[in-house]
Amino acid sequence: MLSKLLTGWALMAVCVVIHAAGVSEALTRIPRRVDLSAQFWRFTWLFICVAGWMVLLHLLEISTWAVFYLWKNAMPDLSTALYFSAVTYTTTGYGDLVLPAEWRLIGGIEALTGILMCGWSTGFFFAIVSRLFDARTAGENG
């Protein structure tokens, strides 16, 4: 059981690295200074890009777990592994597929990792919106 926990921890760590790298990259591309005269669609486009980037990061993380399940023969093929991983990572949990008994603890760790990574994405998105809103209200008040 300890080896399974360590395996789950290692997969979680890979997800954190993917997410940290992705958030860091996004920060380099999001302007620090905002054009306060920007219209609704310009801000909306920025939010679409940030949301798309976050979804891409989550898909990479889901794929990491799926490849692991395939490698360990816990799922029969890549499409099934991707489906199972997406349902587990997002904590949807349909229950139509289950891991073999020896890997079930890993599935729980994936779900916890998904909750944490989705929370991180939500926090990052909120920070971007807050930064834009603060800059906009500061421009209106000052």
Nearest to 110 by CA among 97, 123, 128: 97
For residues 95 and 102, give the distance between their C-alpha atoms in angstroms, rounded to a whole number: 17
Reported pTM? 0.88
Which are the contacts of 53, defined by CB distance < 8 A and separation ≥ 6?
22, 26
- For the stretch 44-49, contacts whose Cβ atoms lie closer than 8 Å and that sit 24 or more positions apart, written own/partner, are 46/128, 46/132, 47/125, 47/128, 47/129
Largest CA distance in the chain: 62
Residue written as token pair 């992705």: 22
In this prediction, residues 54-67 reach a mean pLDDT of 98
The answer to whether 114 and 121 are in contact (CB under 8 A) is: no
Q: What one-letter code names the amino acid at 32?
A: R
Residue written as token pair 């979804």: 55
The pLDDT score that the predictor gives to residue 133 is 72
The answer to whether 58 and 117 are in contact (CB under 8 A) is: yes
Q: Where are the domains of the chain?
A: 2-26+40-137
Q: Which run of H or of E encompasses 94?
A: none
Question: If pLDDT is split at 50, 70 and 90, which confidence band does 37 have?
Answer: low
Task: Examine the pLDDT at 137 and tell me if it is beyond 90.
Answer: no
Check: CATH 3.40.50.720 for 2-26+40-137? no
For residues 60 and 22, give the distance between their C-alpha atoms in angstroms, rounded to a whole number: 10
pLDDT tens digits, residue range 91-116? 998 999 999 999 999 999 999 999 99
